[in-house]
Every structure is written in C-alpha cells, then in structure tokens.
Amino acid sequence: MLKSQERKPLPPHPPARGKGRQRRVLSVGSKSLAAGAALLLLCGWAVAGEPTPPAEKDDVPKLARLLYEQFRNADYEGALKTCEKLIAAQPKDKDHRYNQACTLARLSRPEEALAALGRSVELGYGDVGHMLADEDLASLREQAQFKALLARLREQHAPRTTVQGQVKTVTGWPEGGLQYKLLLSSAATPAQPHRLAVWLHPSGGSGNQAAESLAPLFLARGWALLLFTDKNWMGWSDEDARKIPLTVGELKELPGLAVARPLLLGYSAGGQAALNLWLGKPGWPGGLILDAAYPLSLEAYAQRRVEPLTIPADPAVKECPFFVLVGGKDGGRQIWDQVLPKFKEAGVLVDYHVVADRGHEWLFGAAEQKLLSEWLEKLGKAGGDLRK
C-alpha cells in the first residue's frame, strides 16, 4: 500500500517569529507515494465489485485517512469499498488503483489485483522498488503477469538520451530511486566532464519550469542540471531524501558527467530539504543554492517553535559553500541575520543576498542570475573550494 510518508515539516512559507506554521501533508499509505510512466495493460480482467456512489473530491483526504486506518486494522473488505469511493472521486489517480490492487491481493483475489495494478501502471505508476518491497503485493510476485509487468517497467525506465542542439537530455528511473531528467551540455566530455546540480522542488508542485529557466546559466558554466519528473510534490520525506543519492549514483557512468559532490539547488521547502541533507552528511554536497529557505531547526519547527539550526561539528561543513537569496520582506530573513555570524565562525562560506521589496517567492531575476553565474564561475575555477 502507499501509506503516508513520515515527512519533516519543511516550511513552505516564511515563519512568524516564535510560532512556526506547520503544513501537514495527507496522503494514503505508509510508504512513499510513487510515480511512473504510461504502460499498456498486461491484464484484461475487470475488477469485480458492486457499483459505488461517487464521492465528492472534498472527501478524498477523509477517505485517505479512513483507508489508512482500515489497512492498519486489516479491514480489507472495508478498505476495498473505500478504494472504490476514491477511484470514483479521482478515476485517473494511479495511487488509488495501486491501493486497490494491494487490497485485492490481501483478499486473495489475484486476477483482479493484477488488473488493478496494471491499470495503476497505465495511469503512471511505476516504482519498481516499491512494488518489490510492498508486502501487500507479496502474493503476486510469483505470478507471470506481475513479473512481466516488472520487466516492461525496467525496460521502459532504462536511461535514454536525446540530443537537441547543444543539449543532451537523459531520462530514466533507477530502481529504488526517483524518475529524472538530466540536462547536459554536448560540450561535456570524459576528458572535461561537467559537474552536477540537483533541483529540489518546493511543496505543492515540481517547480521544474522555473528551474529549467536557469539551465542555460548552469550549462554555460560547466554544470549539468538534474530534475525529478514525477513524485509526490507535496513535500520531501526521509524516503525521498534517501532516493536522491541512489538516483545520482545511476548517472556516474554517464560520459561527460562528474557526479561527486553535487550542488543542491532548492526553493522554499526544497531549500529546507537541501539544508537537511547537508546537516545529515555535510561532506556529500559540493554547495547549496538556496532561495527563500532558512537555517531552521526542523525538530523545533515540528513542535511549532522557530529556532536556528545547529551547525554540525564536522570539518566537512567548511567544504560546502552557500549561495543564498532571501527577500527583504521575508520573515525568514531574521533567521539568516541571526545565524550568519555562526556560519562564519564555523568556517562556512555564505554568499548572502537580500532582494529588496520581495517576500517569500522565486527570486531569480536577471540581477540574481548574474550573481549566481559569477558564483558558479568562481566555484568552478576554485575546483569547488572557494577558500582557495
């Protein structure tokens, strides 16, 4: 089943002093929501069941919570009826079909379960790693149709490269990772590889269009840009974070690309995710580019307190420079003003810019892009170490 992810409350808006605002993400299931690509149905069976009155779309979060409770209590007959209501409300939602497949598998109705799973994949589900780990589907794994479905997904998710002008686009979905699109300059070669920048989306949407507007800037300075193309855009979970290095790892054999110590580019909740990755392993990223994100303690924020993060006592923090944009009218600016002296004391280089008369928003206008371009050029010339 796709159960609700344990998400850190990454603030999507500037926090008010003394009382952080928490945005709770509601989704079905205990494992990660997944995404995928279209695939024709392998099975032609219809899913049996009595007609279910359509639910109002406003009822979907309520039904999702009910479904979680029914699975937790092993009430699979009730869960099947809830799945049918969810499908009636959102017939093109791949996750509802996936959960229906899990319910039918638990009810020992394998043919109907495979039909529902096939429909889920047709609608876009394709997380092979999750399908193999999900105990709700354990009874289907030896079925020929299930194995054929996995084989087709694996073939479909293999890396593919297209070239348009001076840009190579590589797409794929590694098992256990995230579906991605990589933009790489055709000028990159094994002898002179380009380094990697990874886009981390805000809450509520991919933000890929905004990120891709920066692609020419990155490509011109010797950086490739990695975007994730289908996931749960409502936020970043611990499971999502674990999938990022796995996805990056698939790209290490790509000619002309150096994936060690990637830059993390994040806006709003994506910037908070970048900071959290840095806190967990300061030596992994080669730099952070943050727009409208703040050096907050997420543990305190989860308890509705606004407190600055604690800089890790790890020498590797000095090896990860920051480029930061924050709006002059953004409440989060106060956190930066408070923490900047501590970053300096710890030896973390922060290229900090306040954008006047702007709030919590996308801040990369022409002037800010010029500043970023200069920072990337300095970082490239310094071999990633701006302290030189």
Domain at 173-381: CATH code: 3.40.50.1820
Per-residue tokens: 247:
């996805």
pTM for the model stands at: 0.80
Q: Are 335 and 294 in contact (CB under 8 A)?
A: yes
Q: 45 - beta bridge partners? A: none
Model confidence over 188-233: pLDDT tens digits? 999 999 999 999 999 999 999 999 999 999 999 999 999 999 888 9
Read off the DSSP letter of residue 281. -
Residues in the chain: 388
pLDDT tops 60 at residue 295: yes
Rounded average pLDDT over 100-121: 96
CATH pick for 57-156 out of 1.10.3720.10, 1.25.40.10, 2.40.30.30, 2.40.50.100:
1.25.40.10
Q: List the structure tokens of 186.
A: 């055709």
CA distance 137 to 158: 24
Is the pLDDT at 50 greater than 60, yes or no? no
CA nearest neighbour of 230 among 160, 177, 163, 153: 177
Spatial strand order of the sheet with 194-200 comes to 160-164, 167-172, 179-185, 223-230, 194-200, 257-267, 287-291, 322-327, 350-355
What gap in Å lies between CA 259 and CA 193, rounded to an integer?
A: 9
Grouping H, G, I as helix, E, B as strand and the rest as coil, residue 236 is: coil
Q: What is the CA radius of gyration of the chain?
A: 22
Phi-psi region of 49 (alpha: psi -120 to 50; beta: other; left: phi over 0): left
In this structure, of 37-41, 76-80, 138-142, 352-356, the range with the lowest mean pLDDT score is 37-41
Answer whether 69's CB lies under 8 Å from 97's CB.
no
Cα 217 from Cα 288, distance rounded (Å): 16
Give me the residue spans of the domains in the chain: 57-156, 173-381
Whole-number pLDDT of residue 10:
54
Nearest Cα residue to 354 out of 373, 378, 331: 331
Q: Are 223 and 31 in contact (CB under 8 A)?
A: no
Q: Provide mean pLDDT across the span 294-300.
A: 91
Q: Are 161 and 172 in contact (CB under 8 A)?
A: no
